Amino acid sequence: MYNGKEVLVALCQGGTLHYIDKKNGVKDFDVWFFYPMKSRNLPYRRRGVIDFGESKFGVHPDMKRKGYSGRTVDVLMRSDSFFKGRSPESEIVDYLLHKKSATAKLLAKKAVIGLYPERQFGKRLWPQKL
């Protein structure tokens, strides 16, 4: 039902701040998939964790004990009526500005960098200014 229907895939939170300012540390990478609302909503806080593998970021000490070889990538999915497939850039901004959910408030505290669609790749979507 949702396969291939994402409106936006984005790097969010602390890893994104590091991408922007090169000062913020990287605990893990949070990759969010945002989908339009369908007749059946995605389960709340749908999340998976994968190993980024060896990289310049090394492995977080907490994750090394769990057998990871690099930083973890949290893959999270959210479906919401804010995402209609018109403009990923304006929809994520509307979501972060106007949605009153805990997720939107948490994401709005950090930053969002586009990964997909391709025209959004590497583009700072939130905040528009630091």
Note down pLDDT in tens along the chain; length 130 residues: 556 578 999 999 888 887 888 887 777 889 999 988 876 666 666 677 766 767 766 666 666 656 666 777 889 988 888 998 789 999 999 999 999 999 999 999 999 999 999 999 999 999 866 5
Residue 82: inside a domain, yes or no?
Answer: yes
Number of compact structural domains in the chain: 1
Residue 57: inside a domain, yes or no?
Answer: yes
Residue 1: inside a domain, yes or no?
Answer: no
Residue 2: inside a domain, yes or no?
Answer: no
Given a contact cutoff of 8 angstroms between Cβ atoms, the answer to whether 32 and 12 are in contact is yes
Spatial distance between the Cα atoms of 12 and 30, rounded to a whole number of angstroms: 5
Residue 24: inside a domain, yes or no?
Answer: yes
pTM of the model: 0.82
Residue-range definition of the domain harbouring residue 75: 8-126
Tell me, what's the pLDDT at 28? Answer: 82
Residue 31: inside a domain, yes or no?
Answer: yes
Residue 3: inside a domain, yes or no?
Answer: no
Residue 22: inside a domain, yes or no?
Answer: yes
Which stretches does DSSP call E strand in the chain?
8-12, 29-36, 46-51, 72-80, 112-116, 124-126
